[in-house]
Chains A and B, each alone.
Chain A
Amino acid sequence: MAQREMGARPNRDRPDDDKGGPPRRRPMFRRKVCRFCADKTLLIDYKDVRMVSQFVTERGKMTPSRITGNCARHQRLLTTAIKRARSIALLPFTTANS
């Protein structure tokens, strides 16, 4: 038992991971690219409801950038756009009652 544990341990240690082969704990994922960085002609505007509502869930919550892949700057711009659209009733705050 003890020996088996010893055998398993080196794999868990970080330094060993670096030495040989790809690191174990890294699932396959595709790097998401910020849509607004990729296409510079896209403008973030609170008046464009159709565009802004793509970044809102069905409940009306903002989708986090970790899901949409937006960069920090554009996520920030989106946040203000969503909040502006909400305040002028272009976007819902919530859909709980309607």
Chain B
Amino acid sequence: MTLYETLFVVHPERAARVKELIERFKKVIEGQQGTVTAVDEWGLRDLACRIDKQGKGFYTLLRYESTGHGVEELERNLKLTDGILRYLTVQADEKTPTTSPSVPRHAPEERAERFERN
């Protein structure tokens, strides 16, 4: 059993269904004898680049202990689910926080404003 974390981005129009999706993925992990240790909803954030014509996405992080087969099964489910823009699974480090950097990305806009003033 290894500690993994999966971060996935949900289509903004399906953000209302995120809770449902989380429950589903939890069941997938538990179905593979894994245990979910943390669920963290980061919320709607700006994407750094457009994905499927969307500028925003709903980020959610799952941290869980599982075998490699559990990860395979979860990723298969992520691929099958509609409205998942992106996902990323990595081996997690217990020391790193699950929370998102709470500040949303406004840096590019600020930069643009400054540019205009000059």
Please give the residue numbers on chain A whose beta carbons come within 8 Å of chain B beta carbons, in ascending order.
Answer: 43, 45-51, 53, 58, 84, 86-93, 95, 98
The A-contacting residues of B in range 35-61, CB under 8 angstroms, are 47-49, 51, 57, 61
Q: Give chain A's interface secondary structure class.
A: loop
Chain B residues near A95: list those with CB within 8 A.
108
The A-contacting residues of B in range 1-59, CB under 8 angstroms, are 7, 9, 47-49, 51, 57
Number of A-B contacts (CB under 8 A): 50
CB distance from B102 to the nearest CB of A (A): 10
Q: Considering the complex, give the chain A residue whose CB is closest to the CB of B85.
A: A89
Q: Which of B7, B87, B93 has the most CB of A within 10 A?
A: B7
Q: Is B118 an interface residue (CB 8 A)?
A: no
Contact yes or no, B51 A45, CB < 8 A: no
Chain A residues near B97: list those with CB within 8 A.
45, 47
Contact yes or no, A92 B49, CB < 8 A: yes
Chain B residues near A91: list those with CB within 8 A.
48
Contact yes or no, B105 A58, CB < 8 A: no
Contact yes or no, A88 B96, CB < 8 A: no
Contact yes or no, A89 B108, CB < 8 A: no
